[in-house]
Amino acid sequence: DTAVSQTPKYLVTQMGNDKSIKCEQNLGHDTMYWYKQDSKKFLKIMFSYNNKELIINETVPNRFSPKSPDKAHLNLHINSLELGDSAVYFCASSQDGSTGELFFGEGSRLTVL
């Protein structure tokens, strides 16, 4: 059983489309995150949710909207996709948001044409 699972693993789409990436964790953790890793391999946090409440929202365009239906799921919806959104998106979770031991998913590679 994968602890943090993301779907889809690969996503190729056209500019202007709307797409979603789903994330589920079966670890019983309270906190979930979305990270973005760009072509230069920098890994940056986008959002953090604790028990379905938004905790961290870094400087991310409002075209990106996280949705947490329950504490085991944190989905990422992206509107009006742009070329610069091409990246690998990683979902993660942690039990204790303060000490920050994170469990990452395998990533979802988004390519915008």
Partner 1 sequence: DAKTTQPNSMESNEEEPVHLPCNHSTISGTDYIHWYRQLPSQGPEYVIHGLTSNVNNRMASLAIAEDRKSSTLILHRATLRDAAVYYCIHGGSQGNLIFGKGTKLSVKP
Q: Tell me how many residues contact partner 1 (CB under 8 A).
A: 28
Q: How far apart are CB 11 and partner 1 at their closest, in Å?
A: 16
> Is-contact 49 68, C-beta < 8 A?
yes
Single residue of 25, 97, 110, 112 touching partner 1 by CB under 8 A? 97
Strand partners, 37: 43, 88
Among residues 103, 101, 87, 84, which one has the least CA distance to residue 21?
87
Q: Residue type for 40, please? A: K
3-state secondary structure of 53: strand
Do 25 and 103 contact (CB within 8 A), yes or no? yes
What minimum distance in Å lies between the beta carbon of 93 and partner 1?
Answer: 10
| Out of 11, 21, 31, 66, the residue judged to bind partner 1 by CB under 8 A | 31
CB 105, min distance to partner 1, A: 5
Residues binding partner 1 (CB under 8 A): 4, 31, 33, 35, 41-45, 48, 50, 55-56, 90, 92, 94, 96-107
